[in-house]
Each structure stands twice: as structure tokens, then as C-alpha cells.
Amino acid sequence: MVDIRNMYDWSSNKRSGTIGVGPLAGAVVNFNNQWFDTLTARIGYSFAAPWLFYFQGGGAWSHTSTDATLAGVALGQTSKTRSGWTIGGGVEWMFAPHWSAFLEGNWMDFGSNDRNIVTAGAPCPPPGCFFNTKATEATVLVGVNYRFW
């Protein structure tokens, strides 16, 4: 079995961190992944009648935003749609005619990027305040399918 599918998901994944050293010590950086989209090819094999085991991989896109504040003062923000890759696999069980249930895991990697989010006048020595972000996402999906054919 081979098929192609697209999955688009809204997300509220957030993470915060505090800068511990340097001229921005104490600044809080907030990372937010707002949505992700995957386009994958799925290849599967059925070892026993109602069970299908599959592997999938393909392209992934994610929209992230980042902002930084120091003592309640906004230092700056960025917003970007990133491209990356995804890989995963799962198992599907046909429990009745046209009906199946599945369990699937996926890993998405959107790479790492250097960022400069500080606006003019912020307390940074030249050439500015830079940091690196690495964006990854892991999902576990459980669901039920109905096939019309």
C-alpha cells in the first residue's frame, strides 16, 4: 500500500527561557509554534489480515514566532514560516468493513536559525544581540478512519 496525504494542524506549543549571562541577563524569550503542515508519502505492509504497519516521510512546514522582554520592556520579535522534513510510522487495524483505527508517531525537524530580535537602543554591544533557535516537533496521533470505497 502506498498513498500520499497532507495534515494541517493548529498548535499552541509554547516554550520560554531566561537568558542567564551577558548584557541581556534576565531577559525572557518566548517561542510559539502556531501551526504545522506535513505532506507525506506513506508506505505500508500488512503482515496479518486486519493489520497494516506503515512508514512515512516527506516535507513539513511550521509557523513560529519569538519575542523577548527585559524587565517588562519589549526588546523585539520575529515571525517566520519554516520548511523542514518529517518522518514517522504507525499501525492501522481494520476492525469492521470500511472502519479502521490507527496509532501513529511523527518527528518533524525545521532546522536551526540564527536570530537577531533586538530593536535599536537595546542594551547590546555591536553587532547586536543574536541567538540560535532549533525547531522540532513530535506528535502522537490516535484516530478512526472510515473508507467510502
pLDDT number for residue 84:
96
Domains of the chain: 2-146 (2.40.160)
State pLDDT tens for residues 7-17. 998 988 888 98
Pairing relationship of beta strands 130-146 and 73-96 according to DSSP bridges: unpaired
- Tell me if 138 sits within 8 A of 105, measured CB to CB: yes
Instruction: For residue 19, name the pLDDT band (cuts at 50, 70, 90).
Output: confident
State pLDDT tens for residues 124-138. 655 566 667 788 889
